[in-house]
Structure 1
Amino acid sequence: MDISKLLKPGAVKVISSASSKKRLLHDLGDLAFSAYGINASTAVEALIERESLGPTGVGHGVALPHARLPGLDTVVGTFILMEKPIDFDSIDRQPVDLIFALFAPEDAGVEHLKALALVSRTLRDPAACAKLRANADPATLYTILTEGQSAQAA
């Protein structure tokens, strides 16, 4: 599995700022709708419900919100780069600016976990995060996210 199977170019966005974590989750839902036709309010509700179990801010400015949704056939992702980091209740208490959300079918077990592990590995790489933070073009961000995996696989 690689990120290009989870993420399409139209699912990458740069946002200058968000007023709150909840507003950012709404932005992720809107992006999931525009990129994949996922019902935005269903996506947002599922993300909020997942966040209530424990924050998905994994540290170093990265958040990996994720949720299971009815009606999906496969795991898909959205990526947002925040120009102004926001508080996300991260484990290291640092604000986040790199947000990769995953939406999985309700019955996706291993596939969901593999996707989460893949994205987590990619965004744990300080060099990849530095490249992402240095670019504000969605097409370039998509290339950085998807290229990193192919280079690691080679």
Structure 2
Amino acid sequence: MDLTSILKPEAVKVFSAASSKKRLFQEIGDVAHSAYGLDASVTVNALLERENLGPTGVGHGVALPHARMEGLIKVVGAFVMLEKPIDFGAVDRQPVDIAFALFAPEDAGVEHLKALALVSRTLREPSLCSKLRANLDATTLYALLSEAQSVQAA
């Protein structure tokens, strides 16, 4: 599994402002709808339900919201860069400006965990996060994520 198998170029977006976590999830729902045909409101509700179990802000300005959803046949993702960071209840209390959302089939089990581990490992690299934050063009962001994954695999 690599990032390009779960992330389409059209599922990478930059938002100038999201005033809250809920608003960010609405934006992610719209991205998931346009890129994968997922129902935006079902997507938002699934993310909010998971977030109610505990914040998915992993620290250093990064969040990995995720949810299991009915009707999916494989794990898919959406990458969102925020120009203005928002409070996410992250473990280190830093606001979030990088969010990589994952959506998995309800019975995905190991596949879901592998995808979470892959994204977490990739976004744990400070140099990659610096490059992502320095580029607010979706095409460039996708290229950086794809490149980072191929470098890790080598």
Q: Do they fold alike, i.e. is TM over 0.5?
A: yes
Residue 153 of structure 1: how far off its partner (Å): 1.2
Residue 151 of structure 1: how far off its partner (Å): 1.1
Q: Which amino acid aligns with 1:115?
A: A
Ranges in structure 2 where 5+ consecutive residues have no aligned partner: none
Residue 149 of structure 1: how far off its partner (Å): 1.0
Name the counterpart of 2:73: 73
Equivalent positions of 1:21-36 (< 5 A) are: 21-36=21-36
Q: Which amino acid aligns with 1:85?
A: P
Equivalent positions of 1:4-153 (< 5 A) are: 4-153=4-153
Residue 37 of structure 1: how far off its partner (Å): 0.2
Q: Percent identity?
A: 71
Distance 1:124 1:48 in 2: 24
- Per-residue deviation, residues 73-108 of structure 1 (Å, max 9, x unmatched): 000000000001000111111100000000000000
Q: Which amino acid aligns with 2:38?
A: I
Distance 1:22 1:153 in 2: 34
Residue 139 of structure 1: how far off its partner (Å): 0.4
Ranges in structure 1 where 5+ consecutive residues have no aligned partner: none
Q: Secondary structure at the residue paired with 1:78?
A: strand
Distance 2:123 2:142 in 1: 13
Structure 1 stretches (4+) deviating beyond 2 angstroms? none
Q: Secondary structure at the residue paired with 2:45?
A: helix
RMSD: 0.5
